[in-house]
Structure 1
């Protein structure tokens, strides 16, 4: 009886651990399900932007992921947007080495 209860407990905790680790960190979460319709005109602090993704449909946009977890849609031709993308790419390349 004890062995049976212990096995059930182990299976339960493995399930909990698997669900928690599958969620990952903010920076590793995929942004594919989110689509931009409106674009922000505000200039954001580059230091707070974690990652980005390019979107072409329904509008041409860059989607930034903020360190607090929300997504920001902006026009890709803005100079600050290009600088932010470059900085994020440099961070990715530095971490990969």
Structure 2
């Protein structure tokens, strides 16, 4: 009888442990990096931008990252945004060589 009870307790414990670790890994996978929701209408000084990321969801946007680590979301169709992206891409390719 003791062996039967011990077996059930071990199975319950394993079930709880598995559920707990699965929830932890799922929660950590669903954590997303910062995403753009609101877009800035102001032009950013291109010289202060060091990088950018493209985003499609929840809104189509470009997230510029400044040398101070500030993240600014802008609409990708603006001419100055496209020029800034080209300039950053040029800097990236010249550093790789």
TM-score range, shorter chain: 0.5 to 0.7
Q: Could you say what the CA RMSD is over the residues aligned between the two structures, in angstroms?
A: 0.8
> By how many angstroms is 1:83 displaced?
0.2
Per-residue CA distance 1:2-24 (angstroms, 9 max, x = gap): xxxxxxxxxxxxxxxxxxxxxxx
> By how many angstroms is 1:52 displaced?
0.3
Per-residue CA distance 1:44-63 (angstroms, 9 max, x = gap): 10000000010000000000
Q: Between Structure 1 and Structure 2, whose CA radius of gyration is higher?
A: 2
Runs of 4 or more above 3 Å deviation? none
User: The residue matched to 2:52 in structure 1 has which SS?
Assistant: strand
Provide the aligned length of Structure 1 versus Structure 2: 66
User: The residue matched to 1:83 in structure 2 has which SS?
Assistant: helix
Kindly report which structure 2 residues correspond to 1:1-97, keeping only aligned pairs within 5 A, or say none: 33-97=33-97
Q: Which structure carries more helix by proportion? A: 2
Structure 1, unaligned runs of 5 or more: 1-31
* TM score, norm. by length of structure 1: 0.67
Structure 2, unaligned runs of 5 or more: 1-31
